[in-house]
């Protein structure tokens, strides 16, 4: 419980990065869980991702997508790297 509270307090002062996403100049892949309660899909979509950014939405996943759906994340990354090469 103490660890969770300390982690939560540490993130309260963080700058919101969603607005910065539109400024990225490199190919970017965002992987988001459809059930993320920390960063909503609406806020990611509303950030108007730039033309070089793709968004992969993983079903049945929350904020910790690689831990919750590791096979799906691997499939997404393999497809992305194959596309880039």
Range of the domain at 60: 17-84
Q: What is the pLDDT of residues 41-65, one digit of tens each?
A: 887 776 666 777 888 999 999 999 9
According to the model, what pLDDT value does residue 9 have?
Answer: 77
How many independent structural domains does the chain possess?
1
Residue 30 maps to which CATH number? 3.40.50.11320
According to the model, what pLDDT value does residue 38 have?
Answer: 84
5 in any annotated domain: no
70 in any annotated domain: yes
10 in any annotated domain: no
Torsions phi, psi for 49 (to 5 deg): -50, 140
For the segment 30-37, the average pLDDT, to the nearest whole number, is: 92
Q: What is the pLDDT of residues 2-25, one digit of tens each?
A: 888 887 777 776 666 767 777 888
Answer yes or no: is pLDDT of 34 > 80.
Answer: yes
For the segment 27-47, the average pLDDT, to the nearest whole number, is: 84
Transcribe the chain into DSSP letters.
Answer: -HHHHHHHHHHHTPPP-HHHHTT--S-EEEEEETT-SSS-HHHHHHT---TTEEEEEETT--S-HHHH-HHHHHHHHHHHHHHH-
């Amino acid at each position: 419980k103490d660890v969770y509270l300390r982690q939560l307090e540490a993130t309260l002062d963080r700058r919101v990065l969603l607005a910065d996403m539109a400024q990225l100049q490199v190919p970017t892949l965002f992987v988001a869980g459809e059930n993320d309660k920390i960063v909503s899909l609406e806020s990611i979509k509303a950030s108007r991702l730039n033309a070089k950014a793709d968004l992969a939405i993983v079903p049945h996943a929350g904020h910790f997508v690689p831990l919750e759906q590791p096979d799906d994340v691997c499939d997404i990354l393999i497809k992305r790297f194959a596309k880039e090469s």
